[in-house]
Amino acid sequence: MSPIRALVFDAYGTLFDVQSVSGLARELCGDKGELITQLWRLKQLEYTWLRTLMKTYEDFHTVTRDALEFTLSAVGVTPSPALCDPLMQRYLHLDLYPEALQALDALRDRKLAILSNGSPDMLTALVRSAGIAARLHDVISVDRVRQYKPDPACYALVEPALQVRRDEVLFISSNGWDVAGAKRYGFQVAWIERGDPAAVPQNSAVGPAEFFRLIRGRAEQLGHEPDFRVRRLTDLPPLVGT
């Protein structure tokens, strides 16, 4: 393997906890809040892939709002501004994973960047809210190519932005589909295994969080395996020799 000169992080689910919307969802929507949290994320991802395949790009804010309104309607909740606006606002202030600052500081001798589906305005708000802007060489939005990951054009944004070769990049994501896309592109890849995958269910009676883990908690079977599997962002510095 080539020496790692840059570490590039996915944002949603990797540096920022998308599940941190669940408290507000429960506050606003009662016992449907957990179901809304999980369906919203799944539909959000689905819409990014559909819009890329259909060549009907809309930015991530629009995709996220559309996914939220779909989700609310699907569970029998009217998608009013009184519900949608605060939930969308929460997406601009997602919780940073607790070990993220320590990991970024330990990796400061490498170029650090974000490559995300997020729109520029959403990512600017997230990075500012978390106080990590000064630690990053660049915050790269797929909006620059009007496609969504795992389209190769998205990963191709990294090399000119950071002035590195693709084999000198360690890409970090908690999303199995993103891991596969980045590895197929030619990056070195670390998969952050956030928590344990759901246990094998005994029957079909599973809750929304367990259902989400069944879909997203395991490596995708796409023939492109990560180079590293780690549990926390603070497991990364030893991999790059800091």
**Is residue 85 flagged as an active site residue?**
no
Q: Which position among 10, 17, 59, 178 bears the catalytic label?
A: 10
8, 110, 197 from 5: Cα distances, Å? 10, 6, 31
Structure tokens at 17: 């906890």
> What's the residue count for the chain?
242
Please name the residues in contact with 195: beta carbons below 8 A apart, sequence gap of 6 or more.
213, 217
At residue 161, what is the residue type?
A: A
Which contacts of 16-22 are long-range, i.e. CB under 8 A and separated by 24 or more positions?
16/94, 16/95, 16/96, 16/97, 16/126, 16/130, 17/94, 17/95, 17/96, 17/97, 18/94, 20/90, 20/94, 20/95, 21/87, 21/90, 21/91, 21/94
Show which residues are catalytic.
10
